[in-house]
Amino acid sequence: MSATTGRSRKAHSTPVGLSLLAALGLALVALPLLGLALRTPWSRLGQTLSSESALTALRLSLVVSIAAAAIGLVVGFPLAWMLARSRFRGRALVRGLVVLPLVMPPVAGGVALLTAFGRSGILGRPLHEAFSVQITFTTWAAILASTFVSFPFVVLALEAGIRSIDERLEQAAATMGASRWYVIRRVTLPLLGPQIAAGVVLAWARALGEFGATITFAGNLQGRTQTLPLAVFQQLQTDPEGAIALSLLLIAVALSVIVALRARFLPAS
C-alpha cells in the first residue's frame, strides 16, 4: 500500500531483499524470547523463583558479579591509567593481554585459570603446599573467573576516559599543592564518573552472565560456585520449566541494565 503513495519509493524505502533479511534477523532475536514467554510457567513462577535453590543461586550471582566488577575497577583503573598516560616498552603488548579475555573463549579462559590457580597450577600449587589454600571450587574461584572475563570492559572504558581528560587540569591541580594521589582522587576520578559507571556496569553485566570459565575453573557447587547461569544449565536437565524461569530472571536483570543505560549506549532516534 505504501507503493501507491509515490513518496515512499524514494530515499526512505527499503529494498525488498534487505527487508526480508532484516526480518530474519529480528526473528532470530524475537523467536527465542517469544518461546521463553510462551513456555514460562507463569502460574508457578513466583514459587519457582523463591525456591531455596533459586534464591541461593541469585544471591551468589549478585555477590560474584558485584565483587568481580569492584575488583575490576580497583585493578582496571591503574592499568587504564598506565595505558593512557605512561610511555613504557611493551605497552602494546600489555593492552593486547588486557583485552584478550574479551575475545578468548571463556572455556579456554577457565582452563588457563586452572593452570595458574588450580591445585597443580603455577601459583596454585605453592599456595596449596605452603598455606593449604585452595582456590578452585570456592566462591573466590567463581569471582576470579568472572573478574577475568569482565575487567577488560573497565580498562577499555577508563582508558578512553582518561585520554579525554585535559591533562592541563591535573597539572593545574599540582600547582595548587595537590600531591599526585590527591590529584587522582579529587580531579581525575571525579572527571571519570561517567566512564567509571559505564565500564563497571558493562563488566558487571558480563560477570552476571559468565558461564564457561566459571564451570571450568570453579566447578558447579550449589551455594559456593553455582551462579544463576550454572543453575539454569543444571535445571534444564531435570526441570526445564525451572530453567526457563531462571533464564527469565537473568534476562530481566540484563534488561534493567540496558534500560538504565539507554541514554548512553542507544543513540536517540
DSSP 193: H
The answer to whether residue 164 forms part of the interface with other proteins (CB under 8 A) is no
| Amino acid type, 64 | V
Place of cell 595505558: 83
Backbone angles phi, psi at 215, to 5 degrees: -70, -30
Residue 31 or residue 174: which is nearer to other proteins going by CB? 174
Stretch that binds other proteins, among 24-32, 118-126, 167-175, 250-258 (CB under 8 A): 167-175
Between 100 and 119, how does the x/- string for binding to other proteins read (CB under 8 A)?
A: --------------------
Helix axes 193-209, 240-260, angle to 10 degrees: 170
Q: In angstroms, what is the minimal distance from the CB of 186 to other proteins? A: 7
Nearest to 151 by CA among 79, 237, 51, 93: 79
d(CA 72, CA 55): 25
| Amino acid type, 50 | S
Q: Which of residues 174-203 bind other proteins (CB under 8 A)?
A: 174-179, 182, 186-187, 190-191, 193
The SS3 call for residue 221 is coil
Among 12, 168, 252, 268, binds other proteins (CB under 8 A): 168
How many residues of this chain interact with other proteins, rule: CB under 8 A?
Answer: 18
Q: In angstroms, what is the minimal distance from the CB of 165 to other proteins? A: 10
Binding site for other proteins (CB under 8 A): 166, 168-169, 171-179, 182, 186-187, 190-191, 193
